[in-house]
């Protein structure tokens, strides 16, 4: 079944809690628009939460207000009006809280998947998966309105979830199946038989959860996705001017509203008031999960906020759409659960995505590697994950590990260690405006919030203190109560040392403290250290994403080189688009230059130059004219001359120098692309002309002067694979064509005949039939042959046949008559004919060339076999510059299957079926 057409979003908003992240995430949205993941007409907005703890409900209200404001301004209004919502499809994505396993949050956590159909190559983040689900699975078919989607979960939704929108009004939540055991720590919906939501439970009792169970025993989980109709969205938007909800929006704060005292929940405040079984009194005094324990003032604030929501939204129906074939997995702070979601238990091998690995056999079964460069022996145990790392072995990472954000220099700290059940991460920081690096190390089994009997590095605190010499006062202030001493607040992680740069070794020493007189411990104590919760506001998300992008393109350059040099059947177009659209075309073209200059054969070099042409064409962004066009500008003559003379390295360097002059505007970029394709054609011609190496002849007795040698051939009909055996395609991918030889009106319609004549001249004749020559040419000097390489010149094919047959050379110091008299004692007459119309598609050109060559070789005293004749025609057509497909065996037999070997130079092959 076809995938539904994607939603043409009017606005996409990404909310985030840190003000310094707004510009970073705005750029990320725009990059995805350039990758064609988001419609070009969509308005993209990254919006900061007015307060850090505004909650999912407050963030939704603020985002809805911002969307309405921008659409109102675009429509020419001077105030915010909800009328603009009536024709808008709005998607609000919430970044949510900090995530211990990715500095950019759950939304930008990279997944071990790739989309081979994507027009632009890129690492797939959770955000990308959710965008695809919302745009192509859940969103299609919905009326105008507002979709709200969390990004703190991993979702799976079938292509056509079957949501019915007929007669819909109000709000609709999307629910996915889960077990009753899983529901104990999550939210579930209670519905009636018509799909109306009766109640929403969070960490409900066993009885409440069982009440929600469906016939299959599964329960509908709160998935973090809700749709508001235009009517309901208008009612919600109306609350932004009513205290105390006005404090949830930036306009309210700018108007002097009192700050938010308690987080407002999207599901347990905004949506809960619409559930049918909820009573007003219970709703007003209820406590949402995001609130926790508060004082009387906080409870009063929440009661007032809920009263406003009840007044506006109570009459709006809330229905549920259940997707039984989907799945939901909340991304918790558990390292074990995180690793389980990124690995493949039971798989036979590792999942390697957008990574270059020198020794892939060292990767354990079920492990995953995403956007990495692994040089040398890097061993990765089963169930472990590597992301955004450039590692240089020998390195041994055992089972149950997550390693991220290390470069080649930092990876040296791992050489003498074997890691097990650990999470090691490198972080980019901004400390008082200065960029810095820090490294964190925790155990897979550690809990961030567990107090008292907590662990660190998978051991109890007491054992950790005993092993390392660290004391509790190193980590917590003396007045910190024991009940508040946990991993989240422990000042474990060095961020600045007074004398040197920090590295992973400043944490790894804790795994195996050496007898170094306490040197490592003193260095750790001398460093400025932060706890995990203190570290979060210092994270430099812009530097993190830039570093990841840089590593992705570094591994991509390795990939491009390998694909070309190994002649892999893999398109580089998605990678080229990625490099251009994300500002990295220069390094890619430099790599392609290196591949072309160092190529061992012209076929690889030609493909590399064609890729440069694609880069230049992509840089023009569809402007500057047609890609195809002339390629003989005088400025490019010098680079072309190097290539013609066989100086590949010099030619590539000269091309690159000339290229720099043509990058300033689209028209020049397109013209430069044409000339790079022209350069590639020079190499392709040289590659195809290598077919002459496979042409061998046997000497036979010369026919008597005046004796005709006749070659007659059938026409050809291709049944499948047409043109796949044609250079340069055949050299890159191989090819196979099934053809049938046919007679026309009972005759072979194509032929040639040749004979020796006493005059030291060449008599050429071309006609529609063997006894009707329409054009006659006499060549008495080499000057008469100079147009042999111009396909439309009179007799060009016949002239090229004499040259390719080795009967004469146009570059010889001897005259034409001297060459003919010296070797053959006279000249030749060659006649060719074809009873088929030009351009009939019946193989006339190739077959006529084969007939002419066969007749000439025999009249010159040489016998040529079928295989040799196939390659001789390839050579002739490149000399003639037509470059048509090879007549692989078609000049002789009734039915053929011709194959090209997929290498250059390489022999052609064919299987024959005779009647």
Entry field: residues in the chain: 915
- Token digits for 284? 């007003």
Mean per-residue pLDDT over the chain, rounded: 91
Integer Cα distance of 525 and 520 in angstroms: 9
Integer Cα distance of 681 and 181 in angstroms: 65
Whole-number pLDDT of residue 292? 52
Q: What's the pLDDT tens digit per position in 373-382?
A: 999 999 999 9
Other beta carbons within 10 angstroms of residue 582's beta carbon come to 16
Whole-number pLDDT of residue 167? 94
Q: What's the pLDDT tens digit per position in 624-658?
A: 999 999 999 999 999 999 999 999 999 999 999 99
* 270 touches 57 (CB < 8 A): yes
Q: What's the pLDDT tens digit per position in 508-520?
A: 999 988 777 689 9
Q: What's the pLDDT tens digit per position in 173-194?
A: 999 999 999 999 999 999 999 9
Reported as a pLDDT band with limits 50, 70 and 90, residue 887 is: very low
Q: Is pLDDT of 774 > 90? A: no
- Token digits for 34? 């350039």
Integer Cα distance of 243 and 203 in angstroms: 30
Q: What's the pLDDT tens digit per position in 453-469?
A: 789 999 999 999 999 99
DSSP state of 244: T
Whole-number pLDDT of residue 881? 67
Q: Is pLDDT of 3 > 70? A: no
Give me the phi and psi of 82, to 5 degrees please: -75, -5
Other beta carbons within 10 angstroms of residue 617's beta carbon come to 22
CATH 3.40.50.1100 fits 695-913, yes or no: no
Give the residue among 448, 406, 467, 410 at the shortest CA–CA distance from 535. Answer: 448
Q: Is pLDDT of 886 > 50? A: no
Give me the phi and psi of 236, to 5 degrees please: -65, -45
The string of DSSP letters for 249-311 reads: SHHHHHTTPPPPSSPPPIIIIIIGGGSTT--HHHHHH---TTT-S--HHHHHHHHHHHHHHHH
What's the predicted TM-score (pTM) here? 0.85
Q: Could you give the count of Cα atoms lying within 13 Å of 629 in the half-sphere of its Cβ?
A: 16
Long-range interactions of 899-902: CB distance < 8 A, separation 24+: 899/725, 899/734, 899/735, 899/736, 900/724, 900/725, 900/726, 900/727, 900/730, 900/731, 900/734, 900/735, 900/736, 901/730, 901/734, 902/567, 902/730, 902/731, 902/732, 902/733, 902/734, 902/735
* 122 touches 109 (CB < 8 A): no
Q: Which residue has the higher pLDDT, 856 or 289?
A: 856
Residue with tokens 């008559």: 817
Q: Could you give the count of Cα atoms lying within 13 Å of 54 in the half-sphere of its Cβ?
A: 32
Other beta carbons within 10 angstroms of residue 256's beta carbon come to 8
Q: What's the pLDDT tens digit per position in 721-750?
A: 877 777 667 666 667 888 888 898 889 999
Q: What's the pLDDT tens digit per position in 861-884?
A: 999 888 888 888 888 887 886 544
Q: Domain limits of the chain?
A: 11-322, 336-526+535-540, 544-692, 695-913
Residue with tokens 């603020």: 62
Q: What integer is the mean pLDDT of 814-832?
A: 96
Beta strands 373-375 and 390-392: pairing type?
A: parallel
Integer Cα distance of 174 and 194 in angstroms: 15
- Token digits for 538? 């210092």
Region class of 708: left (phi > 0), else alpha (psi between -120 and 50), else beta: beta
Integer Cα distance of 646 and 643 in angstroms: 5
Q: Is pLDDT of 608 > 70? A: yes
* 266 touches 67 (CB < 8 A): no
Give the residue among 229, 228, 245 at the shortest CA–CA distance from 307. Answer: 245
DSSP state of 842: S
Q: Is pLDDT of 406 > 70? A: yes
Q: Is pLDDT of 2 > 60? A: no
Q: Which helix (H) or strand (E) holds 320?
A: strand 318-322
Whole-number pLDDT of residue 99? 96
């Amino acid at each position: 079944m076809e995938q539904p057409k994607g939603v043409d979003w009017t606005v996409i908003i990404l909310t985030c809690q840190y003000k310094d992240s707004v510009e970073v995430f705005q750029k990320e949205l725009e990059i995805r628009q350039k990758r064609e993941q988001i419609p070009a007409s969509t308005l993209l907005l990254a919006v900061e939460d007015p307060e850090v703890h505004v909650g999912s409900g407050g963030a939704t209200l603020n985002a809805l207000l911002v969307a309405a404001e921008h659409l109102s301004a675009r429509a020419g209004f001077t105030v915010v009006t909800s009328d603009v919502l009536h024709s808008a499809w709005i998607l609000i994505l919430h970044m949510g809280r900090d995530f211990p396993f990715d500095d950019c949050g759950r939304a930008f956590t990279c997944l071990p998947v790739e989309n081979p159909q994507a027009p632009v190559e890129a690492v797939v983040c959770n955000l990308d998966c959710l965008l695809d689900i919302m745009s192509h699975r859940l969103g299609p078919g919905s009326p105008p309105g507002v979709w709200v989607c969390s990004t703190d979960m991993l979702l799976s939704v079938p292509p056509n979830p079957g949501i019915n929108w007929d007669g819909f009004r109000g709000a609709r939540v999307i629910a996915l199946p889960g077990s009753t055991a899983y529901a104990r720590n999550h939210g579930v919906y209670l519905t009636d038989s018509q799909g109306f939501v009766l109640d929403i439970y969070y960490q409900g009792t066993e009885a409440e959860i069982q009440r929600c169970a469906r016939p299959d025993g599964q329960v509908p989980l709160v998935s973090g996705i809700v749709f508001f109709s235009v009517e309901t969205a208008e009612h919600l938007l109306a609350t932004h001017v009513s205290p105390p909800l006005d404090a949830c929006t930036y306009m309210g704060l700018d108007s002097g509203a009192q700050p938010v005292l308690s987080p407002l929940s999207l599901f347990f405040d905004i949506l809960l008031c619409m559930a049918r079984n909820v009573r007003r009194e219970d709703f007003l005094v209820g406590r949402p999960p995001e609130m926790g324990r508060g004082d009387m003032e906080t409870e009063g604030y929440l009661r007032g906020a809920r009263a406003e929501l009840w007044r506006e939204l109570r009459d709006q129906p809330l229905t549920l759409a259940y997707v039984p074939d989907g799945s939901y997995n909340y991304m918790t702070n558990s390292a074990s659960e995180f690793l389980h979601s990124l690995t493949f238990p039971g798989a036979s091998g590792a999942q390697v995505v957008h990574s270059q690995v020198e020794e892939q056999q060292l990767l354990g079964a079920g492990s995953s590697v995403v956007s990495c460069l692994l040089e040398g022996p890097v061993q990765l145990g089963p169930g472990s994950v590597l992301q955004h790392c450039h590692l240089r072995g020998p390195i041994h990472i055992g089972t149950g590990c997550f390693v991220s954000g290390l470069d080649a220099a930092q990876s040296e700290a791992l050489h003498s260690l074997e890691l097990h059940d650990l999470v090691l991460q490198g972080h980019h920081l901004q400390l008082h405006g200065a960029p810095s690096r820090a490294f964190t190390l925790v155990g897979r089994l550690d809990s961030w919030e567990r107090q008292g009997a907590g662990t660190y590095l998978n051991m109890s605190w007491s054992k950790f203190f005993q092993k390392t010499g660290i004391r509790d006062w190193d980590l917590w202030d003396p007045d910190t109560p024991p009940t508040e001493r946990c991993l989240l607040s422990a000042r474990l992680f060095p961020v600045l040392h007074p004398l040197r740069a920090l590295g992973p070794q400043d944490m790894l020493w804790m795994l195996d403290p050496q007898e170094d007189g306490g040197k490592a411990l003193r260095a750790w104590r001398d460093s400025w250290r932060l706890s995990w919760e203190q570290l979060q506001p210092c994270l430099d998300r812009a530097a993190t994403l830039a570093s990841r992008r840089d590593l992705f393109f570094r591994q991509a350059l390795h990939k491009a080189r390998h694909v070309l040099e190994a002649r892999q059947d893999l398109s580089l177009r998605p990678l080229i688009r990625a490099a251009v659209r994300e500002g990295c075309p220069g390094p890619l073209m430099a790599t392609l230059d290196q591949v072309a200059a160092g190529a061992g054969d012209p076929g690889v070099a030609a493909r590399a130059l064609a890729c440069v042409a694609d880069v230049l064409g992509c840089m023009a962004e569809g402007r500057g004219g047609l890609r195809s066009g002339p390629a003989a500008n005088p400025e490019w003559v010098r680079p072309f001359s190097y290539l013609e003379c066989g100086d590949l390295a010099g030619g590539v360097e000269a091309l690159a120098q000339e290229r720099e002059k043509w990058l300033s505007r689209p028209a020049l970029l397109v013209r430069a692309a044409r000339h790079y394709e022209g350069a590639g054609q020079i190499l392709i011609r040289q590659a195809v002309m290598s077919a002459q190496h496979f042409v061998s002849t046997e000497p036979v007795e010369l026919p008597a002067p005046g004796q005709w040698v006749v070659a007659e051939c059938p026409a050809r009909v291709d049944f499948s694979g047409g043109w796949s055996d044609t250079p340069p395609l055949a050299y890159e991918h191989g090819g196979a064509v099934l053809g049938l030889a046919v007679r026309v009106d009972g005759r072979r319609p194509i032929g040639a005949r040749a004979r020796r004549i006493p005059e030291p001249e060449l008599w050429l004749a071309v006609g529609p039939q063997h006894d009707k020559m329409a054009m006659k040419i006499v060549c008495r000097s080499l000057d008469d042959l100079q147009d042999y390489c111009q396909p439309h010149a009179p007799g060009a094919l016949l002239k090229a046949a004499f040259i390719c047959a080795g009967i004469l050379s146009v570059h010889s110091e001897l005259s034409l008559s001297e060459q003919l008299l010296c070797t053959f004692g006279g000249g030749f007459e060659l006649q060719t004919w074809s009873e088929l119309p030009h351009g009939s598609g019946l193989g006339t050109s190739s077959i006529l060339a084969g007939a002419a060559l066969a007749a000439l070789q025999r009249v010159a005293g040489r016998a040529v076999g079928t295989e040799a004749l196939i390659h001789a025609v390839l050579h002739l057509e490149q000399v003639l510059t037509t470059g048509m497909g090879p007549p692989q065996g078609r000049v002789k037999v009734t039915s053929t299957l011709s194959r090209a070997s997929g290498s250059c130079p390489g022999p052609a092959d064919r299987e024959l079926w005779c009647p």
